[in-house]
Amino acid sequence: MPTPGKNDTLNGNFQGQDILSLSQFDQKSLTKLFKHTLQMADIAKNAKASDLLKGNIVTLLFYEPSSRTFGSFGAAVKQLGGQTIEIQNPQQFSSVAKGETLEDTIRVFEAYSDAIVIRHSEAGTASNAARAAEFVPIINAGDGIGEHPTQALLDLYTIYEKFGKLDNLKCVMVGDILNGRTVHSLLQGLSIYKKNTIYLLSPEKLRLPKGDFSYYKELGLNLIEIQSEKDIPHDAHLWYWTRVQKERFASLVEYEKVKHAFILTPNLLAEKGNKHMIIMHPLPRVGEILPEIDSDERAVYLRSEIRNGMYIRMALLGLILGKIK
């Protein structure tokens, strides 16, 4: 199946489509997805039996570690009465260990299933998988430092749930802006709507590359790089905190130097926060948000973000597999 070009937006037509990047999305598609996500929440919350995906099998092919994305895709399929083939670490537990190519692996699992969800350590792998697949859609569950579209979809849904809009927002994104694929997809997603301002705070070496900075600006985002917590505006709608991506560093020493450059503490929240904001994090966190923050009602990372991740994946699968319109 073709890799989307810049202008290949879904335009509300999900059936049979690969989901590789937030660049495929437009307001119409997001509105449709969110409408179905609300219905999926109803199915899941009220333990309503659904057979929407009965007879469907979805392959989860995860070359990199995952808790939430793997778990929530699996749960999403099962909530809708479908089944999964679950392969974690194929480098060890499949013919990949014998040297099988990605292309061959994809051709095999498309014969067994109706969609393939793939996570890989190299940017571009989901697109390569989509080129190899002849019959089934590929969903990118995170490709190296590239993108993580379904995380951004749940992030956008969570923001929409709280503020009832996705435009005119003031966002603060903190941490590993260079390597954080969830950040890249979320920036792309926020650019679909007008007048969004994003404050970016990261260690010097983990800033957005210049080319990417101009790219998102051209898409219409008002991007502002800030140097320290002192520059965080008081009236932000959300703080999107992220982990420094240890696995992307060539040197552990370099990682250690920056891993805790920015820590969200109760003091910082008291100084720079406001009562209407939300605190987001794609998880896992490794010390950059102190546990004292968890009980604050503005913290949504262990609450609605987790649940929304399953609901949005239910809706996305239903749409891609043509079970809902």
Interaction site with ligand NCD (CB under 6 A): 68-69, 142, 148, 151, 181-182, 243, 245, 282-284
Do 268 and 229 touch, CB atoms closer than 8 A? yes
Name which of 20 and 324 has its Cβ closer to ligand NCD: 20
User: Residue 282 CB, nearest distance to ligand NCD (Å)?
Assistant: 4
Catalytic annotation on 68?
A: yes
Active-site entry in 36, 37, 59, 69: 69
User: How many Cα atoms are found within 13 Å in the side-chain-facing hemisphere of 102?
Assistant: 20
Tokens of 130: 């989509």
Active-site entry in 32, 120, 148, 259: 148
User: Residue 221 CB, nearest distance to ligand NCD (Å)?
Assistant: 20
User: How many Cα atoms are found within 13 Å in the side-chain-facing hemisphere of 207?
Assistant: 17
Tokens of 166: 């996705």
Catalytic annotation on 98?
A: yes
Name which of 82 and 309 has its Cβ closer to ligand NCD: 309
User: Residue 46 CB, nearest distance to ligand NCD (Å)?
Assistant: 26
Name which of 32 and 142 has its Cβ closer to ligand NCD: 142
Alpha helices in 191-265 (DSSP H): 210-218, 252-258
Report how far residue 82's alpha carbon sits from residue 238's, in angstroms, rounded to the nearest whole number.
35
User: Residue 148 CB, nearest distance to ligand NCD (Å)?
Assistant: 5
Name which of 84 and 308 has its Cβ closer to ligand NCD: 308
Report how far residue 88's alpha carbon sits from residue 95's, in angstroms, rounded to the nearest whole number.
13
User: Residue 284 CB, nearest distance to ligand NCD (Å)?
Assistant: 6
> How far, rounded to the nearest angstrom, does the alpha carbon of residue 95 sit from its chain's CA centroid?
28
Do 187 and 221 touch, CB atoms closer than 8 A? yes
User: Residue 244 CB, nearest distance to ligand NCD (Å)?
Assistant: 9
Active-site entry in 98, 210, 230, 275: 98
Catalytic annotation on 148?
A: yes
Which residue type, as a one-letter code, is found at position 304?
A: S
> How far, rounded to the nearest angstrom, does the alpha carbon of residue 268 sit from its chain's CA centroid?
26
Name which of 68 and 257 has its Cβ closer to ligand NCD: 68
Active-site entry in 36, 119, 184, 272: 119
In the complex, which residue's CB is closest to ligand NCD? 282
Active-site entry in 9, 68, 197, 248: 68
User: Closest Cα to residue 5, out of 22, 18, 17, 23?
Assistant: 23
Name which of 74 and 142 has its Cβ closer to ligand NCD: 142
Catalytic annotation on 119?
A: yes
Report how far residue 302's alpha carbon sits from residue 34's, in angstroms, rounded to the nearest whole number.
20
Report how far residue 189's alpha carbon sits from residue 78's, in angstroms, rounded to the nearest whole number.
28
Helix (H, G, I), strand (E, B) or coil at 60: strand
Phi, psi dihedral angles at 50 (to 5 degrees): -125, 140
Catalytic annotation on 120?
A: no
Residues carrying an active site annotation: 68-69, 98, 119, 148
